[in-house]
Chains A and B, each alone.
Chain A
Amino acid sequence: RKEVEQDPGPFNVPEGATVAFNCTYSNSASQSFFWYRQDCRKEPKLLMSVYSSGNEDGRFTAQLNRASQYISLLIRDSKLSDSATYLCVVSPQAGTALIFGKGTTLSVSS
């Protein structure tokens, strides 16, 4: 089983749609969780951290379910500029390197 698994994608949605990405992780002792965004031929950039209580940043909502070892990202009112690959990222413990999922590609069309 891979350490971080994501929906295979790609997701092709029209502008204004709501889209959800899911991710599972194998190490139940994992400490921290994140979503990174990677534009085509660019480097990954932190989108948001994920907390057990859930957190929201504008149109983006991230959720963590530790019992199910499941992370989600919800994007509401999709924009063309949201087109990118979304990487689910897990930190096994403080001070260790981040483990990245394979990524899910989102394409938003007009």
Chain B
Amino acid sequence: EAGVAQSPRYKIIEKRQSVAFWCNPISGHATLYWYQQILGQGPKLLIQFQNNGVVDDSQLPKDRFSAERLKGVDSTLKIQPAKLEDSAVYLCASSSGPTGKLFFGSGTQLSVL
């Protein structure tokens, strides 16, 4: 079974630039999450989708971050404009139901200079 796919693996940008991350969850998984993990911290939820609807985006900085999952499958997370403090690993995860078992992708490591 294919795992959660994410791209790119690494991204380096300058502050105020834009960046987008892509995620393709495990086939059949209705729930998709984007987490931000800053070095030395645990993952922090940015947004949760159920199919193509948003379940929780309360911690998403909506002035600069946006995410979509238009067809209920793959998803894109965008940051515009980026700030230095956005340097982190952006993890996408999916699950088949409310079991607590999340399958994470390898993440995108973002460095904002």
Chain B residues with Cβ under 8 A from A96's Cβ?
A: 48, 55-56
Task: Evaluate contact between B102 and A98: CB separation under 8 angstroms.
Answer: yes
Q: Is B107 an interface residue (CB 8 A)?
A: yes
**Cross-chain contact of B42 among A42, A94, A103 (Cβ < 8 A):** A103
Across the interface, which residues of A come within 8 angstroms of B102, CB to CB? 44, 46, 98
- Distance in angstroms from A73 CB to nearest chain B CB is 15
Report, as a range, how many residues of chain B touch the other chain: 20 to 34
Taking a contact as CB atoms closer than 8 A, the residue among B40, B43, B98 that contacts A100 in the complex is: B43
B26 partner residues in chain A, CB cutoff 8 A: none
> How far does the Cβ of B66 sit from chain A's closest Cβ, in whole Å?
18
How many A residues face the partner with a CB closer than 8 A? 22
Residues of A with Cβ closer than 8 Å to B? 4, 32, 34, 42-46, 49, 87, 89, 91, 94-103
20 cross-chain CB contacts under 8 A: A42-B106, A43-B91, A43-B105, A43-B107, A44-B43, A89-B100, A91-B100, A95-B50, A96-B55, A96-B56, A97-B33, A97-B45, A97-B48, A97-B55, A98-B100, A100-B42, A100-B43, A101-B42, A102-B40, A102-B41
